[in-house]
Amino acid sequence: MSIMALLAACSSASPQTDGAIDSTTTVLVSVEPVEKAPEQQFIEDMWDKQAAQPGADIAKVFRLYQEKAAIGPKNMACWDPQNTEADVCTELVKSMVLLDVHLREIIPLLDSLELPWRLVVRDCEPQVVSKDIQAGRVNLETIDDVITGYFVERAEPPWFSKVVEPPRCETSSEQPVD
């Protein structure tokens, strides 16, 4: 009789097999898109636009930014006077395309890289600026808010600079105007 009870128990449907899932069934899970803050979306759009510029090396920019951040806060990486060829901050800026780009597109990118900046010439007029040196600071020259030149301050000279060719302003801002 015990054998009959065992056989009956094995052949009966148990609650464990009633809810079995067919292995061919696919379950679709919908994922809601992540909502980004407008500021975050703007920065991402500006980086995409910068990446599309001929001569921009965005992979290098991001690698150098990680290197800069690993050395220390703000622009600590830019203050190394032993590095006379170039520094992380200068190389970072050189890897971007700044010339002939509007300020509204560059300023958020410089801010996102924690690089200080200032306008030193606007519409061929020198601006009042302090004489302090802040390694890594990007000094911008613009005409109609489009960057026509820039230089990057360093702890020790030489400073890297680049201008649109041919220059769009007079060579000396100290010439008298008639």
What are the sequence ranges of the domains in the chain? 38-163
- Cα distances from 80 to residues 83, 89, 104, 134, in angstroms, run 6, 11, 30, 12
pLDDT of 144 > 60? The answer is yes
Residue of 101, 95, 41 whose CA lies nearest to 63: 95
Answer for the pair 52, 92: CB distance below 8 angstroms, yes or no: no
User: What's the pLDDT band for 2 if we cut at 50, 70, 90?
Assistant: very low
Integer-rounded Cα Rg, in Å, for the chain is: 30
Note the pLDDT tens digit of each residue in 73-96: 777 777 766 655 567 888 889 899
How many Cβ atoms sit within 10 Å of the Cβ of residue 136?
Answer: 26
Residue of 137, 140, 65 whose CA lies nearest to 95: 65
Q: Quote the pLDDT of residue 120.
A: 95
How many Cβ atoms sit within 10 Å of the Cβ of residue 98?
Answer: 23
Cβ neighbours for 164, distance < 8 A, ≥ 6 positions apart:
99, 100, 148, 149
